[in-house]
Amino acid sequence: MVPESSSNRLTWATIVFAFIGSVIMYGVLAYMLQQSDERTASPGLEAMRLPVTLLGIACLVASVLWAQLRLVVHGEYASTTGDIPAPRQFITHTVIALAFAEACAVFGLLLFFLGASWTDFLLFAIPSIGVMVLFVFPRGIVYWRVWESRQEE
């Protein structure tokens, strides 16, 4: 039987890599559709470009802020596990941060379906993955290291 701490960590890692993988799959889908020359630009593409871009940026900012506020291990140097959230709560906070980051890629996919290029999609997907890898993932590594060290005490 897998200890609960390891099970929670595995669940967290699976969720993080699933979110990252979904953005990669959006890119594969967009790339494959880009190869077919049957795409036409929607008349509303240019009208949608600015609002969708602003929404994408807002989602990335929300993800970073959420990670800064909710995925911080306040008790990293403290002596009790009460200083850090329980694993289920941490996983929930992680999903919220990842969902905000992924929303940016979804907005890029929306523009792509309206007729934007694959390169335009990448301008949304790369920052989305960047936030996941640079802000969410490292905080989880710290959290699980601290949580498991507290459990051993």
Dist CA 99 CA 113 (whole Å): 20
Confidence at residue 122, expressed as pLDDT on a 0 to 100 scale: 98
Q: What is the mean pLDDT of each run of 10 residues along the chain (153 residues)?
A: 75 98 97 87 94 98 95 62 82 97 98 95 98 96 87 69
Q: Which two tokens stand for residue 109?
A: 């996919």
Confidence at residue 73, expressed as pLDDT on a 0 to 100 scale: 77
Q: Which two tokens stand for residue 144?
A: 């699980």
Tell me the domain boundaries of the chain. 4-152
Confidence at residue 4, expressed as pLDDT on a 0 to 100 scale: 67
For 137, counting Cβ atoms within 10 Å of its Cβ (0-12 exposed, 13-18 middle, 19+ buried), the class is buried
Q: Which two tokens stand for residue 105?
A: 């890629």
